[in-house]
Copies of this chain bind each other. A is one copy, B any other.
Amino acid sequence: MYSETDKNQPIVQKYGGTSVGSVDRIRSIAARIARQKQAGWGKIAVVVSAMAGETNRFVELVGMVNPNAAAKHYDLAVSAGEQVSTALMAAALEREGVPAQAFLAYQIGLRAEGLHAKARIRSIDTEKLEACWAAGGVPVVAGFQGVSEQNEVMTLGRGGSDISAVALAVALKASFCEINTDVEGVFTADPRVVPEAKLVETLDYDSDLEMAALGRKVLHSRCVELGAKYGMPIVVRDSFDVEEARRTRIMSFTESQALEAPVVTGVSLDRNVCKFTLTGLKRGSSVLSTVFERVAEAGANVDIIIQNELAESDTMRLGFTVGSADGKLASEALEALRGEAAFDELQFTQRGDLAKVSVVGLGMKSYAGVASRAFAALADAGVEILMTSTSEIKISCVVPADRAEEAARAWHNAFFAN
């Protein structure tokens, strides 16, 4: 159990779809919470996702009834799974002798705003939740949903229960938000690719966000952003781990912690990268914005952008990547640009069989030589580098997809072996 916090402080626990995927799982989670209550944790609030598969079933039904269903109808249908799992968890807790109260968004004024199907949480009334604690109970809150000013159900987007949990933890001034999922935490690399990968025990928000954006997603990035914004520590653990042994804590690093942080937190791998190289672009401020406006309008998400003006020329060179699935959309957008005056000399090449390996770490900020070590490792492994992009806490290299795993292992070995 938790040794690190005061038992009188609120804590929020979120259980995802596989964690509540069966009656047995729900009952074993209820038993865990009952043990914690017995051990004196007085203010536990629980957030649950729909049972695994339920939300997809509702999404499919809506799609079959009307592929262009209004988002408000979609939201209403797909949020029904959380209603069921919330009620089931409350019933399971009561079976363990723990009084419990289920809450849907409208019942606790969990207000959302913005677009249906990707709403953002605006506020939560904590009064009823605190009353539930005061009566010795455990409130069980439906994840993934909020209500608009008009009391319509809005969903927070897929994976939105993570966001619900952190928002609730912030509203309740919890000491931390525990995300129970089907992995043990954040690893230094994907253990399927790099068998020596280790669990990261503590991690700063920025490094987690970088790793998530790079395809090593354990948590929804909006959930981590929210944690970072309010300084809410997020603990990731495996809900199947009855020993309660392993977990990753994602939190703000103080300056001294940041200095002492490992140089590199992890290595990640994104297998589906499509790279475009554009030449013949006329110099001028609007050219770049036009390119990415059109690519975005076509529905393609751009990842890396590298751009370089050649001093001796009046044309630019531009490179960018999109996910492999968006390659066709992006190339069609570029083809369409060719007809326009500013782009009459545009040429572009496209290569789709690529992957991106990245190395992430807060310590890189203050540690010189990470880039050279990274490049050397890939050179030693004989992996061709087609593109490089860096940030304060990240280096990414685009490499041929069939060499990507090798590249990831080479970097893991370079930074974690000792």
Contacts and interface: CB of A to CB of B under 8 A. Distances in A.
Interface stretch (A7-15, A72-80, A191-199, A313-321): A72-80
A81 B94 CA distance: 23
A166 interface: no
Q: How many A residues are at the interface, by size bracket? A: 35 or more
A69 B84 contact: no
A95 interface: yes
A83 B87 contact: no
B76 A83 contact: yes
A56 to B, nearest CB: 13
- Among A88, A95, A107, which residue has the most Cβ atoms of chain B within 10 A? A88
Contact of A77 (B61, B68, B83): B83
Contacts of A106: 106, 151
B92 A65 contact: yes
A257 interface: no
A73 B102 CA distance: 7
A73 B58 contact: no
A214 to B, nearest CB: 36
Interface of A: 23, 26-27, 58, 61-62, 64-66, 68-70, 72-77, 79-81, 83-84, 86-88, 90-92, 94-95, 100, 102, 104, 106-107, 151-153
The 10 A-B pairs with the shortest beta carbon distances in the complex, nearest first, are A77-B87, A69-B91, A76-B87, A66-B91, A66-B95, A73-B91, A23-B64, A80-B80, A80-B83, A73-B87
Given A70-B90, A73-B91, 10 more contacts: A61-B88, A68-B95, A69-B91, A69-B94, A73-B102, A76-B86, A76-B102, A77-B88, A80-B80, A104-B153
